[in-house]
A = this chain, B = another copy of it.
Amino acid sequence: MSTAAEINDIEEGLAFRPKFDAAGLVTCVATDVATGEVLMVAHMNDEALRKTIASGEAWYFSRSRNALWRKGETSGQTQRVVEMRLDCDQDAIWIRVEQRGAACHTGRRSCFYRKVEAGEAGAQLSFVNADRLFDPEKVYPK
């Protein structure tokens, strides 16, 4: 447990002390600087965070590939970071980005291309802004 003074330092201080989880990651939300749309939610480890801050280009850590990854290194769909923010308890990052092309590996501008609504038999999904900007079959090697 943290003391009140420690919590105050984290929440009100100006020292950057990201709180990584047990896997060494923080959550990162990327939004489109022009529209405010959430483009993706991903993770950064310490190195991804440092590289993002130093370069102004978004770097992430892929849990499925267990690898550091510069956004767009395969697809060309890079993210230029206009602003980075940190949340109250320093375990989440928000970056406002200029997205080149599409953020989602399925080829959509945003990963959030389906809407969730209450239905008679539970929640229902429907597509929204789900047009593909690229064909993932052509962009990613098999």
Contact = CB atoms under 8 A, between A and B. Distances in A.
Contacts of A124: 14, 16
A111 B106 CA distance: 30
B122 A16 contact: yes
Interface in A15-56: 15-16, 27, 29, 31, 35-38, 40-41, 50, 53-54
A133 interface: no
Contact of A125 (B15, B105, B111): B15
Given A27-B41, A50-B123, A86-B125, 11 more contacts: A14-B124, A16-B123, A29-B29, A38-B85, A41-B92, A53-B118, A86-B114, A86-B116, A88-B104, A88-B108, A92-B112
